[in-house]
Amino acid sequence: MVFGFLGGEFVDVITWLDETRDTMVWRFERHGNAIKYGAKLTVREGQAAVFVHEGQLADVFTPGMYVLETNNMPIMTTLQHWDHGFDSPFKSEIYFINTTRFNDQKWGTKNPIIARDPEFGPVRLRAFGSYSMRVADPSKFLTEIVGTDGEFTSDEISEQIRNIIVQEISQILAKSGIPVLDMAANTADLGGLVTKAIGPKVAEYGLSIPEFYIENISLPPEVEKALDKRTSMGVVGDLNKYMQFNAAEGLAQPNSAMGATMGAAMGAGMGAAMGAGQSGPWGAAPAAAPAASAPPPLPQAGAASWHLGLDGQTKGPYAESDLAAMVAAGTLTPTTLVWREGQDGWKAAADTALAKLLKSAPPPLPKA
């Protein structure tokens, strides 16, 4: 508030310079609410001034400079009895209304929104974003929201606006029928629906919503993890090739257990291939890979499989039925060296599966 002198008589100069970014309404403070007749009122761009006389809204002034006299205060003229020759103070209240946009107001769902997705079935959605608001009707905003508050900030109304937004977006998302995976491509359309739905409600407060944005619509964390796995499977494609790729990555890390194991196995395979498939001056050309064949038949009981070391020579192979006769004849004794496929070197017959055969054989006949 600034005071000046005009013609040697004290005259009010009524103005408001807002240094904040969140003040929507500010009441001009004057001792006893006494405003001098002929006072000068300055309303800047982005402002409106509302006169309240004896509790009743009298006039709304748009941007400009006014001298408070009867010729530019027609409503005040009808409310005020100017029986003092228009030279005595009149008691009124002046409220300055900020009509600029209040940007970057946040909104978000406190609880998940239950919706039915055509692909995933019932899902829980969360959404958040931002919006801007402005005072569209200063007189309605003052009477419906502000009342007699001397300083009203955007925080005092933003919570109510958020509640209206969340209520409308919950219904719109639940009824939209848009798949969750397609909602990101339709946030602009959904935002337009929300703006249209909340418009009449906020207009009752004397406000408007010039901009409304949906920044994100998300699923619960556990559902997002499952969706990420499903996406990963789609990216992998051929699972066999993916496993081969992982094995190759393991080989690239020689310090890892997989790298060591795979490296040893691969080295052995490469050595065998080099031994059997040398070509050029170091050996014959490698033979063509044999065609896949059926596995051999299972060995039958009594098949010839044992080799015996007799008189410094290898004899056999013999079937167990033949060995029984050799035990009876004394040719095969517990100390006879025997071997068959799969056995680790030559062993005494008593130390192999033939021990049972040796025990079941009858002892030799006594000598006469």
Q: What is the dihedral of CA 72, 78, 84, 88, to 10 degrees?
A: -50
How would you class 35 by CB atoms within 10 Å of its CB: exposed for 0-12, middle for 13-18, buried for 19 or more?
buried
Q: Which of 106, 88, 118 is nearest to 162 (CA)?
A: 106
Tell which wins on pLDDT, 199 or 247.
199
Distance, CA of 284 to CA of 296 (rounded, Å): 29
Distance, CA of 183 to CA of 173 (rounded, Å): 9
Q: Which of 283, 326, 276 is nearest to 306 (CA)?
A: 326
The pLDDT of 151-174, averaged and rounded, is: 93
Let me know: does 269 contact 276? Beta carbons within 8 Å.
no
The pLDDT of 182-188, averaged and rounded, is: 90
Q: Give the list of residues 6+ apart from residue 304 with CB closer than 8 angstroms, or none.
A: 316, 317, 318, 319, 322
pLDDT tier for residue 288 given thresholds of 50, 70 and 90: low
Q: Which of 132, 150, 138, 155 is nearest to 99 (CA)?
A: 138
pLDDT winner (highest mean) among 192-201, 263-272, 319-328, 355-364: 192-201
Domain ranges, ordered by start, for the chain:
2-98, 102-223, 306-360
| Helix or strand run (H / E) with residue 359 | helix 355-360
Distance, CA of 85 to CA of 78 (rounded, Å): 15
Q: Does the pLDDT value for residue 65 go beyond 70?
A: yes
Distance, CA of 363 to CA of 141 (rounded, Å): 121
Lowest mean pLDDT among 47-56, 68-77, 313-322: 68-77
State the pLDDT at residue 69. Answer: 72
**Percent share of the chain, pLDDT over 70:** 71
Ramachandran angles phi, psi of 312, nearest 5°: 80, 10
**Percent share of the chain, pLDDT over 90:** 32
Distance, CA of 352 to CA of 305 (rounded, Å): 13
| Packed helices 187-203 and 155-176: angle between N→C axes, nearest 10 degrees | 130
State the pLDDT at residue 265. Answer: 52
State the pLDDT at residue 31. Answer: 65
Q: Does the pLDDT value for residue 34 go beyond 80?
A: no
DSSP summary character for residue 200: H
Give me 179's structure tokens: 């798949």
Q: Quick check: bond before 254 cis, omega within 30?
A: no
Let me know: does 297 contact 278? Beta carbons within 8 Å.
no
Q: What is the CATH class of 102-223?
A: alpha beta
Q: Does the pLDDT value for residue 313 go beyond 80?
A: yes
State the pLDDT at residue 35. Answer: 77
Lowest mean pLDDT among 133-147, 213-227, 256-270: 256-270
pLDDT digits (tens, 9 = 90+) for 196-220: 999 999 999 999 999 999 999 988 8
Q: Please count the other Cβ atoms lying within 10 Å of the Cβ belonging to residue 183.
A: 21
State the pLDDT at residue 90. Answer: 63
pLDDT tier for residue 58 given thresholds of 50, 70 and 90: confident
Let me know: does 132 contact 104? Beta carbons within 8 Å.
yes
| Packed helices 257-276 and 239-251: angle between N→C axes, nearest 10 degrees | 100
Q: Does the pLDDT value for residue 1 go beyond 50?
A: no
Distance, CA of 95 to CA of 147 (rounded, Å): 10
The DSSP line for 94-150 is EEEEE-S-EEEEEEE-SSPEEEEETTTEEEEEEEEEEEEEEES-HHHHIIIIITT-S
pTM, entire model = 0.56
Distance, CA of 317 to CA of 304 (rounded, Å): 5
Give me 140's structure tokens: 């309605």
Q: Does the pLDDT value for residue 154 go beyond 90?
A: yes
- In DSSP terms, which residues pair with 307 in a beta bridge? 339
The pLDDT of 277-294, averaged and rounded, is: 51
State the pLDDT at residue 364. Answer: 64
The pLDDT of 176-205, averaged and rounded, is: 92
Report which residue type is found at 269.
G
Tell which wins on pLDDT, 90 or 225.
225
State the pLDDT at residue 73. Answer: 60
Let me know: does 354 contact 345? Beta carbons within 8 Å.
no
pLDDT digits (tens, 9 = 90+) for 315-332: 888 887 788 888 888 888
